[in-house]
């Protein structure tokens, strides 16, 4: 073992020094490579030399110091642009989006020269899909995708120029899409069923919580009324089991409708992110069930 | 002495760079950048991270050169001293952060060599670095500076704050240990 306390052979030290000098020059003699350590180091140096040194851009005339600075600036600009665009897309559609420099906008979108025309084309296509009152689910989905793309393009245009000529058309198309979605889903049906938040799965699975959102049927009305009549909203609710028995789901199923959030007035259901569902559920529930005092019993 | 650029030439370039000669600065960065990158890659194992750290080292060099004073210490020792510090900082940052650095936004095609080539190279480097990782830190650092960074024993000594004799002894012990390790693996 070489634990540092063994005597050192000066000749071996010099020999190893010469070997490392040769390896660092990448000129180790073939005989030296019979040494496994030397071969390992030679292979390592060779492998590392093969890895291409990343260079930011083909601009040798501008000098390596520019190449050093460029990637840092470019990555920072691209990251800033990505953050700005993500924030703008996530923000509600009010007010003017933050104005970014053209460099940032182009960094975020790449080929933005065709963005306005592409956006208008996507908007027109979506409007055509949404034109029939009885638009199908596939068309709705396709229109949603198109409008999402159009929104990104319009956002990019707004980031670059401060405004986009397609903004009004886009907003109109989005309103149309919302209308069509509402027409298609009069109640928060299966598509809007929310999953219970993690860690809150102790809620009872009794019938009144298992409404599958059947539109406007007597069962739905009764169940909705039963929910409204829950005294504490989050209780076991055995008083409504009879009414809800007709909509019993599979045992153990945990499909809480949005009205379940509505009923959870005691705060036992935190319903993270479920505010929209809750609101729509209230509306739909009100439409589905007329005021029914005592209807739960 | 650093290979391909002797001390006199390096001193001249440093003086010119300090006087604002951009071409001299270009040559210095051009000379050091690949070596620093390979050294960082051998220490960090990630091309992207090594590239980031290399950028930091080069920026540090560019910033420091105007006020750099030659006091008999080779410039390569100065550069790889920065590199060693930056690598240590990157490793500390890596321990805290789980992010994966990427050189560009991932929404466009890369013009680099393919991912398969990258994977093969990364695997090869990782495999070759395996026995080295079993050496004591100081011995491993000496070998990497000598072979990967292509520094002389004197330059390595300047980077590590040792005498050149101590470096030679350390590298001798490192090679002996490495022979044992590799030979042992070969026997298995």
pLDDT digits (tens, 9 = 90+) for B33-58: 999 999 999 988 888 888 889 999 99
Angle at A81 between CA A76 and CA A83, to 5 degrees: 95
Residue of B175, B177, B183, B188 to mutate, interface with A, max A Cβ within 10 Å: B175
* Residue A52 covered by a domain: no
Higher model confidence: residue B12 or residue B185?
A: B12
- Is A44 within 8 Å of B62 when comparing Cβ atoms? no
Q: What is the pLDDT of residue B67?
A: 78
In the numeric block, which tokens belong to residue A185? 């889903």
What SS3 class is residue A3?
coil
Q: What is the pLDDT of residue A167?
A: 85
* Residue A14 covered by a domain: no
* Residue B161 covered by a domain: yes
> B114: which DSSP letter?
-
Whether the CB-CB separation of B74 and B10 falls below 8 Å is answered with yes
- Is B51 within 8 Å of A54 when comparing Cβ atoms? yes
Whether the CB-CB separation of B68 and B50 falls below 8 Å is answered with no
Q: What is the pLDDT of residue A117?
A: 66
What percentage of chain B exceeds 70 in pLDDT?
Answer: 83
Q: What is the pLDDT of residues A272-292, one digit of tens each?
A: 333 334 443 334 433 434 443
| Same-domain pairing of A87 and A179 | yes
In chain A, how many domains are there?
2
CB pairs under 8 A between A and B: 133
Task: Check whether B139 has a pLDDT greater than 50.
Answer: yes
DSSP A227-291: HHT-SSSSS--GGGHHHHGGG--STT---B-HHHHHH-TTS----TT-HHHHHHHHHHHHHHS--
Q: Which of B129, B147, B173 sits opposite A24 (nearest CB)?
A: B147
Q: Which of B38, B47, B168 sits opposite A13 (nearest CB)?
A: B168
Last residue of a domain, one of A132, A156, A184: A184
Which residues neighbour A205 within 8 Å (Cβ) at sequence distance 6 or greater? Answer: A251, A252, A253, A254
* Residue B21 covered by a domain: yes
The chain B residue lying nearest A28, using CA atoms, is: B147
Higher model confidence: residue A251 or residue A137?
A: A137
Residues of B in contact with A110 (CB under 8 A): 107-108
Nearest C-alpha neighbor of A54 from the set B53, B176, B69, B37: B37
- Is A65 within 8 Å of B47 when comparing Cβ atoms? no
Which residues neighbour A149 within 8 Å (Cβ) at sequence distance 6 or greater? Answer: A118, A119, A122
What percentage of chain A exceeds 90 in pLDDT?
Answer: 3
CA distance B62 to chain A (A): 8
* Residue A64 covered by a domain: no
* Residue B105 covered by a domain: no
> A26: which DSSP letter?
T
State which of A150-154, A195-199, A216-220, B148-152 shows the largest mean pLDDT. B148-152
Task: Check whether B119 has a pLDDT greater than 60.
Answer: yes
Give the range of the structural domain holding residue A266, as residue numbers without chain letter.
198-288
What SS3 class is residue B80?
helix
- Is B59 within 8 Å of A68 when comparing Cβ atoms? yes
Residue of A22, A68, A83, A108 to mutate, interface with B, max B Cβ within 10 Å: A68
- Going by pLDDT thresholds of 50, 70 and 90, the confidence category of residue A237 is very low
Angle at A229 between CA A227 and CA A230, to 5 degrees: 70
Q: What is the pLDDT of residue B156?
A: 92
Higher model confidence: residue A271 or residue B116?
A: B116
Where is average pLDDT lowest: A5-14, A152-161, A224-233?
A224-233
Whether the CB-CB separation of B152 and B124 falls below 8 Å is answered with no
Q: What is the pLDDT of residue A284?
A: 40
Higher model confidence: residue B89 or residue B95?
A: B89
Give the integer Cα–Cα distance in Å for A199 and B177: 54
Q: What is the pLDDT of residue A246?
A: 41
Q: What is the pLDDT of residue A115?
A: 42
| Same-domain pairing of A78 and A101 | yes
Do the interacting molecules here have an ipTM over 0.90?
no
Residues of B in contact with A50 (CB under 8 A): 121
State which of A186-195, A201-210, A240-249 shows the largest mean pLDDT. A186-195
Which residues neighbour A218 within 8 Å (Cβ) at sequence distance 6 or greater? Answer: none
Whether the CB-CB separation of B54 and B36 falls below 8 Å is answered with yes
Give the integer Cα–Cα distance in Å for B161 and A290: 85
What CATH number does residue B56 fall under? 1.10.10.10
Last residue of a domain, one of A184, A208, A228: A184
Task: Check whether A267 has a pLDDT greater than 50.
Answer: no
* Residue A293 covered by a domain: no
Task: Check whether A63 has a pLDDT greater than 90.
Answer: no
* Residue B54 covered by a domain: yes
Whether the CB-CB separation of A260 and A201 falls below 8 Å is answered with no
Q: What is the pLDDT of residue A17?
A: 92
Residues of B in contact with A16 (CB under 8 A): 168, 171-172, 175
The chain A residue lying nearest B101, using CA atoms, is: A75
Higher model confidence: residue A288 or residue B125?
A: B125
- Is A54 within 8 Å of B121 when comparing Cβ atoms? no
| Same-domain pairing of A174 and A90 | yes
- Going by pLDDT thresholds of 50, 70 and 90, the confidence category of residue A168 is confident
Task: Check whether B98 has a pLDDT greater than 70.
Answer: no
Higher model confidence: residue A254 or residue B43?
A: B43
Strand partners, B5: B2
Task: Check whether A250 has a pLDDT greater than 50.
Answer: no
* Residue B48 covered by a domain: yes
* Residue B40 covered by a domain: yes
Higher model confidence: residue A281 or residue B160?
A: B160
State residue B181 phi and psi, 5-degree precision.
-65, -50
Q: What is the pLDDT of residue A84?
A: 55
In the numeric block, which tokens belong to residue A256? 């809480």
State which of A103-117, A280-294, B11-25, B135-149 shows the largest mean pLDDT. B135-149
- Is A43 within 8 Å of B128 when comparing Cβ atoms? yes
Task: Check whether B171 has a pLDDT greater than 90.
Answer: yes
State which of A193-197, A209-213, B153-157 shows the largest mean pLDDT. B153-157
Give the range of the structural domain holding residue B179, as residue numbers without chain letter.
7-99+116-187
- Is A47 within 8 Å of B124 when comparing Cβ atoms? yes
Q: What is the pLDDT of residue B72?
A: 73
A9 half-sphere exposure, CB direction, 13 A CA radius: 6
Give the integer Cα–Cα distance in Å for A26 and A46: 8
Q: What is the pLDDT of residue B97?
A: 63
Q: What is the pLDDT of residue B101?
A: 55
In the numeric block, which tokens belong to residue A55? 């260079």
Residue of B112, B172, B177, B179 to mutate, interface with A, max A Cβ within 10 Å: B172
* Residue A95 covered by a domain: yes
Please provide the size of chain A in residues.
Answer: 297
| Same-domain pairing of A76 and A176 | yes
| Same-domain pairing of A81 and A141 | yes
- Burial class of residue A234 (count of CB atoms within 10 Å of its CB; 0-12, 13-18, 19+): middle
- Burial class of residue B105 (count of CB atoms within 10 Å of its CB; 0-12, 13-18, 19+): middle
A 198-257 residues inside an 8 A Cβ radius of B: none
Q: Mean pLDDT over all residues of chain B? A: 82
Task: Check whether A99 has a pLDDT greater than 80.
Answer: no
In the numeric block, which tokens belong to residue B55? 């950028």
A110 touches chain B (CB under 8 A): yes
Residues of B in contact with A35 (CB under 8 A): 179
In the numeric block, which tokens belong to residue A286? 């009100």
**How many other β-carbons are positioned within 10 Å of the β-carbon of residue B115?**
10
Q: What is the pLDDT of residues A32-54, one digit of tens each?
A: 888 889 999 998 888 888 887 77
Q: What is the pLDDT of residue A212?
A: 42
A294 touches chain B (CB under 8 A): no
* Residue A189 covered by a domain: no
Last residue of a domain, one of A152, A184, A216: A184
In chain B, how many domains are there?
1
- Going by pLDDT thresholds of 50, 70 and 90, the confidence category of residue B165 is very high
What percentage of chain A exceeds 70 in pLDDT?
Answer: 39
């Amino acid at each position: 073992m070489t634990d540092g306390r063994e005597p050192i052979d000066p000749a071996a030290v010099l020999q190893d020094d010469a070997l490392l000098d040769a390896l660092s020059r990448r000129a180790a003699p073939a005989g030296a490579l019979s040494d496994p350590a030397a071969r390992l180091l030679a292979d390592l140096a060779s492998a590392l030399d093969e890895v291409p040194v990343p260079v930011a851009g083909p601009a040798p005339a501008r000098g390596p110091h520019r190449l050093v600075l460029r990637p840092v600036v470019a990555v920072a600009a691209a990251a800033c642009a990505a953050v700005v665009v993500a924030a703008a897309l996530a923000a509600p559609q009010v007010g003017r989006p933050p104005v970014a420099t053209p460099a940032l906008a182009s960094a975020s979108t790449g080929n933005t020269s065709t963005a306005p025309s592409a956006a208008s084309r996507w908007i027109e296509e979506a409007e055509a899909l949404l034109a029939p009152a009885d638009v199908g689910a596939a068309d709705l989905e396709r229109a949603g995708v198109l409008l999402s793309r159009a929104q990104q393009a319009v956002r990019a245009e707004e980031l670059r120029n401060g405004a986009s000529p397609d903004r009004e058309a886009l907003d109109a198309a989005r309103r149309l899409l919302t209308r069509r979605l509402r027409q298609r889903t009069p109640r928060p049906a299966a598509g809007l069923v929310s999953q219970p938040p993690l860690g809150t799965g102790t809620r009872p699975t009794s019938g009144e919580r298992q409404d599958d959102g059947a539109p406007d049927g007597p069962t739905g009305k009764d169940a909705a009324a039963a929910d409204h009549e829950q005294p504490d909203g989050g209780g076991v609710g055995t008083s409504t089991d009879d009414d809800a028995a007709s909509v019993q789901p599979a045992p153990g199923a945990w499909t809480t409708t949005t009205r379940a959030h509505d009923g959870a007035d005691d705060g036992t259901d935190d319903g993270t992110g479920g505010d929209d569902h809750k609101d729509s559920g209230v509306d739909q529930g009100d439409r589905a069930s007329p005021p029914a005092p005592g209807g739960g019993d | 002495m650093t290979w391909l650029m002797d001390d006199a030439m390096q001193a001249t370039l440093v003086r010119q760079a300090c006087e604002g000669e951009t071409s001299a600065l270009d040559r210095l960065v051009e000379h050091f950048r690949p070596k620093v990158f390979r050294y960082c890659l051998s220490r960090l194992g990630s091309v992207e991270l090594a590239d980031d750290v290399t950028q930091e080292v080069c920026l540090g060099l560019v910033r420091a050169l105007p006020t750099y004073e030659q006091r008999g210490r080779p410039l390569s020792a100065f550069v790889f001293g920065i590199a060693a510090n930056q690598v240590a900082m990157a490793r500390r940052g890596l321990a805290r952060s789980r992010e994966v650095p990427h050189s560009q936004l991932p929404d466009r095609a890369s013009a680099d060599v393919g991912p398969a080539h990258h994977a093969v190279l990364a695997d090869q480097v990782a495999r070759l670095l395996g026995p080295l990782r079993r050496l004591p830190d100081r011995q491993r650092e000496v070998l990497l500076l000598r072979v990967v960074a292509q520094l002389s024993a004197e330059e390595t000594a300047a980077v590590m704050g040792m005498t050149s004799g101590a470096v030679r002894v350390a590298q001798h012990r490192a090679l002996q240990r490495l022979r044992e390790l590799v030979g042992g693996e070969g026997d298995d």
